[in-house]
């Protein structure tokens, strides 16, 4: 039933939402037909919404568990196959759920910064190494995505939403097998650095479009 409701919801609102924000998706051919982690920079609540609406198949986003207690949002998230994550601690259940979905060939979405990060320069928030850890555990690639434009939809100090052009640029996949040297901690750290570097490159490309 949740699957059917999600399909109906997506079909009903996706085209409208994507049209309002004049959304463009570049490099979507990098997303495989098998399991993969979609990892991007995060500046707005719109980021997962537009990514979900524009995906060729469902993305199971990992989101903070507190959102399940928010009216309306808490009703919608389970129907969009989102995965609740307890923040401030290693959430074994969330990691296990994500791993299972990936091994079943599904897409899982995650923002390595963990929360929205608005800055004037090109820096990122501190990257969570959970992305690389899950990718290695499930043995699936990470698809970096750079997001530009959503930060202007509701800038700090404004009361009314704006409708800027939004661009998503998918980068080439990053495979866990490329990080086979050293212990697990070293491999996870190296893959995390590569993921964030690829996201930065994709974000720069999105800003130039």
- Cα separation, 192 vs 155, whole angstroms: 29
What residue spans define the domains of the chain? 2-208
**Residue for token pair 């800055």:** 119
How far, CA to CA in Å, does 91 sit from each of 45, 84, 98?
22, 9, 11
Structural class in CATH, domain 2-208: alpha beta
State the pLDDT confidence band at 114, using cuts at 50, 70 and 90: low
Residue 120 has pLDDT above 60, yes or no: no
Q: Which residues of 79-115 are buried (b: 16+ CB within 10 A; e: fewer)?
A: ebbbbbbeeeeebeebbebbbebbeeebbbbbbbbbe
Token couple for 207:
């800003």
User: Which residues, other chains included, contact 54 with Cβ-Cβ below 8 Å and sequence gap of 6+?
Assistant: 14, 18, 23, 25, 168
Mean pLDDT (the chain) is 85
């Amino acid at each position: 039933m949740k699957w059917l409701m999600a399909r109906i919801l997506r079909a009903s609102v996706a085209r409208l939402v994507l049209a309002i924000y004049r959304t463009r998706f570049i490099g979507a051919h990098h997303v495989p037909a098998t399991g993969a982690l979609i990892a991007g920079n995060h500046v707005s609540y719109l980021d997962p919404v537009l990514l979900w609406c524009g995906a060729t198949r469902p993305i199971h986003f990992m989101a903070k568990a507190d959102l399940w207690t928010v009216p309306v949002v808490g009703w919608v998230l389970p129907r969009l196959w989102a995965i609740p994550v307890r923040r401030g601690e290693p959430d074994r259940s969330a990691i296990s759920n994500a791993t299972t979905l990936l091994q079943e060939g599904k897409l899982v979405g995650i923002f390595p910064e963990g929360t929205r990060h608005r800055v004037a320069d090109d820096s990122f928030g501190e990257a969570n190494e959970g992305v690389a850890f899950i990718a290695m555990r499930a043995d699936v690639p990470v698809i970096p995505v750079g997001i530009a434009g959503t930060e202007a939809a509701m800038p700090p100090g404004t009361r009314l939403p704006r409708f800027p052009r939004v661009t998503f640029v998918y980068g080439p996949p990053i495979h866990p097998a490329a990080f086979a040297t050293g212990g697990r901690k070293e491999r996870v750290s190296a893959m995390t650095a590569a993921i964030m570097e690829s996201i930065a490159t994709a974000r720069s490309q999105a800003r130039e479009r």
